[in-house]
Amino acid sequence: MTDLSRAVHAFALAAYAGALVAALVAGRRPAWRGPAAALALAGLVAQLALFLLRWRASGHTPVTGLFESQHFLAIWVVAHALSLLARHRAWKLFAASIGLAVAALAGASFGPMAVKPLTPSLDTPLFFLHVATSFAAYGLFGSAALIALARLTGGFTAPAAARAMLDESLYLGWILFTWAMIAGSIWAYLAWGSYWTWNSKGIWSYLLWFYYAGVIHVRTRPPWQGRRLDVLALVGFAAVLFTYLGLGLLLKSNHPLL
């Protein structure tokens, strides 16, 4: 499974890199748009196939460790980018999203690719609900940050569509992250006898939830429209990266990545 994972990983990374180049060229040569979307779709299909194969081999949802979690993050980023592309023709956002997926898979290259069994405390259906919805939310928050960056730099010619995409990413991300927090609390109670433990990842996850709840609350207030909302989305994703990578790689917690 390790050799197969390495081969499919390399294919997906190459497909996304090709899609990124094609999407950038498509800015001046629209004929490249078709190949860009096709390469991105090929990479996504390869990732989904690897996801299912590793699930079958391990007997659990493959979203543990740096390699698997980065792949799952890229799946959501690319799937959402293709969805927005089909509905809003957001080509500049598509290129940025594929760039984020390339970065995620490049980072995944440094993680262990071997399939490992779950520890008893993790072997529960709540594991899938908690971890999968968490990384799905991270991917949507990443999309929101890219949309905000494009809005700040004048990358959209249709402000209403850009705002609709930003709202969609924020709302869906927050809903999924809420499910992740609920499932995580129940899981913690069943595993350790408490809905809450004072660990660094738990604290930062709750802070992140409250932050995005605040962003959703103020997004309709006139003083927080436009640039201020975009800055909030960018700051939020910076907090996501710290909560996910910074704590997972740099500090000791019950959510290790390596």
Domain ranges of the chain: 1-114, 122-258
- Per-residue pLDDT, 250: 62
- Per-residue pLDDT, 247: 66
CATH fold group of domain 1-114: Four Helix Bundle (Hemerythrin (Met), subunit A) (1.20.120)
- Per-residue pLDDT, 252: 58
Closest CA to 69 of 7, 15, 120, 112: 112
- Per-residue pLDDT, 257: 47
- Per-residue pLDDT, 226: 84
- Per-residue pLDDT, 258: 44
**What phi, psi does 225 have (nearest 5°)?**
-85, 170
pTM equals 0.87
- Per-residue pLDDT, 1: 79
- Segments of the chain scoring below 50 in pLDDT: 257-258
- Per-residue pLDDT, 80: 93
Give the alpha-carbon dihedral of 123, 113, 107, 62, to 10 degrees: -30
Return the amino acid letter for 27.
G
- Cα first-last separation, the chain: 18
Burial class (CB in 10 A: 0-12, 13-18, 19+), 186: middle
